[in-house]
Structure 1
Amino acid sequence: MKILVLGDTHIPKRAKKLPSIIKTVCKEVDRIIHVGDWQTIEVYEELSKLGTLDGVFGNVDSQDLMEVLPENKIVTLNGKKIGIVHGHGKSQTTEKRAIAAFKDHNVDCILFGHSHIPLNKVVNGILLFNPGSATDKRRQGSYSYGMLTITHEIHAEHKFYSVKE
């Protein structure tokens, strides 16, 4: 199973539309997961048309998105429990807030965003993965998204690109 992981798209504030590379990758995966800060319901609707979609709302998302998406959720894919959260909040780091969101759940992986900083590491046996941002790289060298491949284990990798057309 191949999963596209997106976050912090911030459309239309940071980009007018989804980058063409993202639209192409949507056609090649089994599922799309967005970790929040879509900004508008139109981004959710567009991604929903491109594939099976899961997601959560972030701190800059519209009320419309907050009405259709949870703040965090757990999905089970190929027998692996995946926690999804944006990671915003007060105190602690984004990473620590993401871990805390699932402290009472036995998840295999936590997907989160908010910082726009790509991250791929294991903490206490849990894969932590932040895809970075597909449209707002901030101080990062490139825009990015994530790919999860789930077989008997979860493999995560970042894909980087320099043009967000």
Structure 2
Amino acid sequence: MRLLLTSDTHVPARARSLPGALLAGIDEADVVIHAGDWTDEATLDLFQSRSRRLIGVFGNNDGPPLRRRLPEVARAELAGLRFGVVHETGAAGGRERRCAERFPDLDVLVFGHSHIPWDSVAPGGLRLLNPGSPTDRRRQPFRTFLTLNVSDGALRDVTLHKLPPRR
């Protein structure tokens, strides 16, 4: 099962449109996970129309219309792994411990908010993944998103995609 992970798209505030590489990745994915901060319903509609299956949550920059359509926390079992999605996890320091305590029933937690890619494992085995942002690199050298494969209860081929600068 092929997954695409993204977050913090911030359209149209930080970008007028989504990068072509992200859209192509959505088309190729079996499941798309978005960890919040869509900022407009048109972006959610676009993801829904292009995704075979979409799992998403709202973020701190998402107003009432998006909050009515999306949960704060989402959960799904995918190819034998228990996934959770949330926008914010707090400061980087102590993140693994906090998330392991908050989500003891998960194998993988996808989160956003910082725009900083993150891949770590908490004590007890919870894998934490932040795909960064495909539209706003903030203090990072690249705009990013993640793809990975899930099979037989394991993550494989976790790949951070670094997008070229906008023209």
Fold match (TM-score > 0.5):
yes
**What runs of 5+ residues in structure 1 fail to find an aligned partner?**
none
Equivalent residues of 2:96, 2:128 under 8 A apart: no
Say which SS state the counterpart of residue 65 (structure 2) adopts. Answer: helix
Equivalent residues of 1:4, 1:33 under 8 A apart: yes
* Distance in 2 between residues matched to 1:128 and 1:21, nearest whole Å: 23
Q: Could you tell me the percent identity over the aligned residues?
A: 34
Q: CA RMSD in A?
A: 2.0
* Distance in 1 between residues matched to 2:166 and 2:47, nearest whole Å: 16
Write out per-residue CA displacement over residues 69-122 of structure 1, whole angstroms, 9 at most, x where no aligned residue: 00011111011100100016xxx5157399448725410000000000001111
| TM-fit CA distance, 1:12 | 0.4
TM-score (norm 1): 0.90
* Distance in 2 between residues matched to 1:67 and 1:98, nearest whole Å: 30
Q: Report whether the alignment pairs 1:30 with 2:39.
A: no
Equivalent residues of 1:81, 1:106 under 8 A apart: yes
* Distance in 2 between residues matched to 1:64 and 1:101, nearest whole Å: 31
* Distance in 2 between residues matched to 1:9 and 1:25, nearest whole Å: 14
- The alignment of Structure 1 onto Structure 2 pairs a total of residues equal to 162
Structure 2 equivalent of residue 93 of structure 1: 91
Alignment of 1:28-107 (within 5 A): 28-51=28-51, 52-87=53-88, 92-93=90-91, 96=95, 99-100=98-99, 103-107=102-106
TM-score (norm 2): 0.89
Distance 1:75 1:110, change over 3 A: same
Structure 2 equivalent of residue 160 of structure 1: 162
Say which SS state the counterpart of residue 134 (structure 2) adopts. Answer: coil
101-110 or 11-20, larger mean C-alpha shift: 101-110
* Distance in 1 between residues matched to 2:97 and 2:164, nearest whole Å: 27
Structure 2 equivalent of residue 149 of structure 1: 149
User: Which AA in structure 2 matches 1:93?
Assistant: A
User: Which AA in structure 2 matches 1:7?
Assistant: S
Write out per-residue CA displacement over residues 29-62 of structure 1, whole angstroms, 9 at most, x where no aligned residue: 1011100000011100001011121100000012
**What runs of 5+ residues in structure 2 fail to find an aligned partner?**
none
Equivalent residues of 1:121, 1:127 under 8 A apart: yes
